[in-house]
Amino acid sequence: MNDSAPPPENEPQQEVYRVKIPQRKPLVTYILIGLSSLIFILQYYVETTTGSDLLFFYGGKINELIMTGQVWRLFTPMLLHGSILHLALNMYALYIIGRRLERYYGPGRFLLLYVLSGFAGNVLSFVLTKAPSLGASTAIFGLLAAEGVFIFQNRKLFGTTRTRQAIFNLAVILMINLTYGFMPGRNIDNMGHIGGFLGGIFFAWKGGPLLKLGGQPPFFDVVDVRKKGEVWVASVVVIIGFTIMALIPFFTG
């Protein structure tokens, strides 16, 4: 015999709400990882067979050659790497951060963020650092900045505690990387990192996802209410701003 009593008929039922978040596959992230890896393999093969890193010679950030008009060098360094460890660290960071961001940014806007951040980093490096450089870390730092902006601007959805923790974690990662880069004897392009970080902030602040809850209870979905016009304005601001900066050495050198 079952002695358990049934629940009272007038007992309020607990409502269950479901929030649907974007489930996009991070295709651009995977493509960038694959492309960077293939280029490194080609770079390594050419250097092994010829004894010279020709891909870096034709695509790396070399100030003297940029001054002759080879402006593509403000973009191509983000596809080149100096060692397998250099590649692995950058691609791991891209894998971790890129998958999270691309889900909300979408493929086109995420690629735009990546390219503009890399461009901004190479520009600041060109203006403030004479040493040659290469690597995707300029773009990676832009993704790091964009993730911080994304969490901050959507803090009402993420909650105060989660937002503070996420921002704190990102700040710690940033400070560790910059501090390590500024230590004596480190061959690290910190100006490129800072430039990429600034480019990511400028783009994400007015061009990143701005989320609102949509739908009807008990089913909600997350809607990005950022207007496309704002995304293009953010892109133009980064392009024009850092292009003007890139012109400084041509007038002062």
Confidence (pLDDT) at 8: 53
Q: What is the pTM of this model?
A: 0.87
Predicted pLDDT of residue 179 = 72
Active-site choice (36, 117, 133, 137)? 137
What is the 3 state secondary structure string of 94-149? HHHHHHHHHHHHCHHHHHHHHHHHHHHHHHHHHHHCCCCECCCHHHHHHHHHHHHH
- In degrees, rounded to 5, the angle at the alpha carbon of residue 104 between the alpha carbons of residues 157 and 112 is 135
Q: Are 141 and 117 in contact (CB under 8 A)?
A: yes
Name the residue among 74, 199, 44 with its Cα closest to residue 134.
74
Instruction: Tell me phi and psi for residue 79, to 5 degrees.
Output: -100, 0
Report pLDDT digits (tens) over 238-251.
999 999 999 999 99
Active-site residue 137, yes or no?
yes
What's the pLDDT tens digit per position in 197-224? Answer: 999 999 999 999 998 887 767 677 788 8
Q: Inform me whether the pLDDT recorded for 47 exceeds 80.
A: yes
User: In angstroms, rounded to a whole number, what is the distance separating the alpha carbons of residues 132 and 37?
Assistant: 21
Catalytic one of 36, 117, 193, 235:
193
CATH superfamily for 21-252 is: Rhomboid-like (1.20.1540.10)
Question: For the chain, what are the domain ranges?
Answer: 21-252
Mean per-residue pLDDT of the chain: 87
C-alpha span between 229 and 235 (Å, rounded): 10
> End-to-end alpha-carbon separation of the chain, Å?
94
